[in-house]
Amino acid sequence: MLALDVRNLHKKYPDFQLKNVSFQLEQGYIMGFIGVNGAGKTTTIKSILNMLRIDGGEVYVFGRNMAEHETELKQQIGCAFGDVDFYTRSRLKTITDITKKFYRNWNEDIYANYLRRFKLDENKKIAELSSGMKVKYSLALALSHGAKLLILDEPTSGLDPVSRDDLLDLFQELIVDGEISILFSTHITSDLEKCADFITFIDDGQIVASAEKNEFVEAYRLVSGSEAQLGVIREELIAYKVNSFGFTGLIRTEDFDPSSDLRASMPTLEEIMIYFAKKESLYV
C-alpha cells in the first residue's frame, strides 16, 4: 500500500516553478527528500499538505485523494517544519492544549514520553527554546496523535550531532512495525546514507530521480582522470571540476565505459547533489 502518492504537481511562481513532481512512498519505509536550498523541497511539502494552492496535480494519502478528504487524512499525518515559529510568548503547555483539540487520537502518555525523551519543559515559553528544541517540540506534537505518515521538513537541520543521531534512531524505531511511513527533507545527506530506504532528489523544481537508495547511488559514478581524458568524455559528464591535477566529474553509470582507464568510484549522496547543482551554473 502506498502511504503517499504524489502525481504531477505543478506550481508556478514568477521566478520558480515545480514541474511535474511525482513520487511514491510505500507504507512502512523512510524516504529522504533531498535537494539544495531553493530546489523546491518545502514548496513540494506544502503542496502535499494543501498549504498552498497548486496549479495542477494530485496527492493521495493511503489511497485517498488529499484535496477531497483533507480534514480526515490530516488526522493521520504528522508534520513538522524546521523553521515554523509558534507564538513565541506562549508556554509550550498552552500551545499543546490548543493543538490537541484538533486530534481525535491524541495520546497524553506518548506526548509525556516525548517531552521526557527530548528533555522539554512544558512551562517554558517558545522564545526560551533553542532552534533545536523548537524542532523537537514540533516533533513531539507531530508524534503524539497516532500519525501514520510523518512529513517532516528539515527536521534535523537545527540539531547538534547527538540529537540528530537520537532522532534518526527514533525514526527507525517508529517504522519497525511497518505501519508508520516517514518522508523527510534534508540537505544533510549523511543522515540518509544509513536509515533511508528511498531517496527522492529534486533539482530546480523537478524530480531528478526517486528510487531505492542503493539503486539511486549506483546509477552514478564519480570519475577522475587527466585533462586529456576529459576531452574524450566531456560530453557524457553531468558536470565536472577541473584543477591542475586533472578533473573529477559525475557520470551516469550507463554512459560510463568500465574498460576505460579512468578512475571510477561510487559517489555519495552529497556528491551527486553537488554535481547536479554545478550543472546549472555551467550553462549560465
Partner 1 sequence: MNVIISNKSEKPIYQQIYEQLSALILKGELESGYCLPPIRQAALELRVSVITVKKAWEELERSGLIHTVTGKGCFVADFAPGEILETRNRLILEQLTLDAAYYKSFGLTLDEVIGLLKKVYD
Report the nearest approach of partner 1 to the CB of residue 38 (Å): 28
H or E element in which residue 153 lies: strand 149-153
* Binding to partner 1, residues 168-227 (CB under 8 A): 168-169, 172-173, 175-178, 193-198, 212-214, 218
Helices (H), the chain: 41-48, 70-74, 92-100, 108-117, 131-143, 161-174, 190-195, 213-218, 227-233, 269-283
Tell me the one-letter amino acid at 50.
N
What is the contact mask toward partner 1 in residues 247 to 276, using x (rule: CB under 8 A)? ------------x-----xx----------
| Cβ nearer to partner 1, comparing 109 with 177 | 177
The number of angstroms, rounded, from the C-alpha of 137 to the middle of its chain's C-alpha atoms is: 19
128 binds partner 1 (CB under 8 A): no
Report the nearest approach of partner 1 to the CB of residue 61 (Å): 21
| Cβ nearer to partner 1, comparing 55 with 169 | 169
What is the contact mask toward partner 1 in residues 11 to 30, using x (rule: CB under 8 A)? -----------------xxx
What is the contact mask toward partner 1 in residues 26 to 65, using x (rule: CB under 8 A)? --xxx-----------------------------------
SS3 letters for 3-25? EEEEEEEEEECCCCEEEEEEEEE
Report the nearest approach of partner 1 to the CB of residue 149 (Å): 16
Nine-digit cell string for 47: 503542496
The residues with which 222 forms a beta bridge, in sequence order, are 250, 265
For residue 185, give the nearest of 163, 160, 158, 153 by alpha carbon: 153
Torsion angle (degrees, nearest 10) of CA 24, 204, 172, 132:
-140
Q: Look at strands 30-34 and 181-186 and give their pairing.
A: parallel
| Cβ nearer to partner 1, comparing 154 with 197 | 197
| Cβ nearer to partner 1, comparing 5 with 197 | 197
**How many residues bind to partner 1 according to rule CB under 8 A?**
24
Q: How far are the Cα atoms of 26, 137, 225, 265 from residue 231, in angstroms, in the given order?
A: 43, 53, 10, 20
| Cβ nearer to partner 1, comparing 173 with 280 | 173
The contact set with partner 1 (CB under 8 A) reads 28-30, 168-169, 172-173, 175-178, 193-198, 212-214, 218, 259, 265-266
